[in-house]
Structure 1
């Protein structure tokens, strides 16, 4: 029991330290006028933990990051697992952890439909998306200039592809909506009616790259990965922000 208690105490202390390292990692390149993301639910997996300390390698650290600034739609959360963190035992014992190399990161990036639609509303075609069948399919609608008929509401289904680390919405199976209701041959003319729309999701923590996209009833789940990541030293102040003037001058 004493060993178990000591192991759990060591885990708690290490989780606090790793939370600081991760916070430094996700805020180091942010501008001063950007609200930093929230890091929570830092948990170290694997038992016994003291053995991991002895060998200088943490097997798996889970973390949630919310409020991530992005040039595209708001990202509701990133649930990440950092695997293979290398910290020599001497650095742990002397409280001089410094930078932390990480072998692999696997993450799920969550985007809500409402946030995606807010972004799409300002894009060409004013495209909007809506889940059907519990998110197994996603309908797409927008406005397009149809030859002879002029501006018309167009609808169909959409898939999501990954191109250059961007999530790309690719409409297909289009038909006219409203008073007229007939199918438009696919693929002819689809790109001209409702264009493929890239949805930027850059600026993810840990240098994550998007590799796969799936949908459910609430939104999009993007699988992201990274290799050979380095968490910066927790005490390093990489955001050189001027102090806030509260004097009113």
Structure 2
């Protein structure tokens, strides 16, 4: 079994993988040593672990994990992955973006892929049919758009994920909610159409917090894999794990 840890700017996600299946998942604000200790006790078959983080993890917790698994991998720029990384500045590439691309490639190898992660930011990344990570674009996520409209103006209210939206808003709140939702829908559909026109048929993946919200609103064939980053990190761990090798350090 594998232990997969993805520490983002806001939350720490922990998953236990049995092959390609998630058998346990937890989301909390901080990664704690007691929680990891309990997890390793509950799943004694865990023998490998991968840690991806955008912030400094608790060193004591990381050291505890290192001592209790046979193979530990910190996912950093330069870590080998089963894709050719053509990004011009790989040292600045978000680990979650590359991990999601690896996860999508593991599901649909040999196809032109478009990976759309709908979280705090919206990332739209491409993988070629030859297995090349080509890069992508970043724009504000839904919550960030609502927050920006509220904070950067004097009188617009703070809105959140709406139950309904309209082509023409009939109140200020409805106009904000509809404008943000429809803006994201048109943005996504525009990328799918324009990239598809140049590169042929695309296999499109949705991931991230707002994936399910937009899945039935974007009128394109898509695959929704909420935990695509977790699955990609697990694939990267498997790719790097070799019998009797030393831990891979940053």
Same fold (TM over 0.5): no
TM-score of the aligned structures, taking structure 1 as reference length: 0.22
> Which protein has the larger Cα radius of gyration, Structure 1 or Structure 2?
1
